[in-house]
Copies of this chain bind each other. A is one copy, B any other.
Amino acid sequence: MAGRNHLYIPGPTNVPNEILNAMHINMEDHRSPVFPKLLTPLLQDLKKVFKTETGQAFIFPATGTAGWEVALTNTLNPGDKVLIYRFGQFSHLWAEMAKRLGFDVEIHQEVWGKGIPLDRIEARLKEDTNHEIKAVLATHNETATGVTSDIGGVRKAMNAANHPALLFVDGVSSIASLDFRMDEWGVDGAISGSQKGFMMPAGGAFLAFSQKALAAVETSTYPRCFLDLKDQMNTNKDGYTPYTPALPILYGLRKALDLLQEEGLENVFARHHRLAEGVRKAVAAWGLTTCAQPGFESDTVTAIIVPEDKDARDVISTAFSRYDISLGAGLSELAGKAFRIGHVGDMNDVSMLGAIAGVEMAMLDNGFDFKPGAGVAAAIEYYRSTAN
Interfacial residues, chain A to chain B (CB-CB below 8 A)? 1-7, 9, 11-17, 20-33, 61-66, 68-69, 78, 97, 100-102, 193, 195, 201-203, 223-228, 242-249, 259, 263, 268, 271, 317, 320, 322-326, 328-329, 346-351, 353-358, 360-361, 364-365, 371-374, 376-381, 383-384, 387-388
Contact of A357 among B243, B347, B357, B388 (CB under 8 A): B357
How far apart sit A272 and B154, CA to CA, in the bound complex (Å)?
A: 54
Contacts of A356 in B (CB 8 A): 357
Contacts of A30 in B (CB 8 A): 12
A32: which B residues are within 8 A, CB to CB? 320, 326
Q: Are B15 and A347 in contact (CB under 8 A)?
A: no
**Are B377 and A371 in contact, CB atoms less than 8 angstroms apart?**
yes
Residues of B within 8 A of A228 (CB): 100
On chain B, the residues within 8 Å of A9 by CB distance are 29, 31
B360-A380 in contact (CB<8A):
yes
Chain B nearest CB from A58 CB (Å) reads: 15
How far apart sit A101 and B222, CA to CA, in the bound complex (Å)? Answer: 9
Min CB distance A265 to B, Å, is: 12
* Contact partners of A378 in chain B: CB under 8 A: 373
Q: Is there contact, CB below 8 Å, between B29 and A25? A: no
User: In the complex, what residues of B have CB within 8 A of residue A243's CB?
Assistant: 63-65
Smallest CB separation, A94 vs chain B (Å) = 10
Please indicate the chain B residues that have their CB under 8 angstroms from the CB of A202 in the complex: 61, 244-247
* Complex contact A100–B223 (CB within 8 A): yes
Find chain B residues with CB under 8 A from A4 CB.
14, 16, 26, 346, 348, 351
Minimal beta-carbon separation of A270 from chain B (angstroms): 11
A28, A63, A378 — most chain B CB neighbours (10 Å): A63
Known: A61-B63, A66-B226, A203-B246. A3 touches B101 (CB 8 A): no
Cross-chain contact B14 with A27 (CB below 8 angstroms): yes
A101 nearest CB neighbor, chain B only: B223
- Which of A201, A349, A361: most chain B CB closer than 10 A? A201
- Give the nearest-CB partner of A103 in chain B: B223
B381 touching A195, Cβ below 8 Å: no
Q: How far is the CB of A223 from chain B (nearest CB, A)?
A: 5
Q: Please tell me if the beta carbons of B348 and A1 are within 8 angstroms of each other in the complex.
A: yes
Please determine whether B31 and A226 come into contact, CB atoms closer than 8 angstroms: no
- Asked if A372 and B381 sit within 8 Å, CB to CB, the answer is yes
> A100 to B380, Cβ gap below 8 A?
no
B380 touches A372 (CB 8 A): yes
Q: Find out whether the CB atom of B26 lies under 8 angstroms from the CB atom of A5.
A: yes
Partner of A226, one of B69, B349, B372: B69
CB-based closest 5 A-B pairs: A373-B377, A3-B348, A203-B246, A373-B373, A353-B357
Bound CA–CA A373/B240 (angstroms)? 35
A31: chain B residues within 8 A (beta carbon): 9, 329
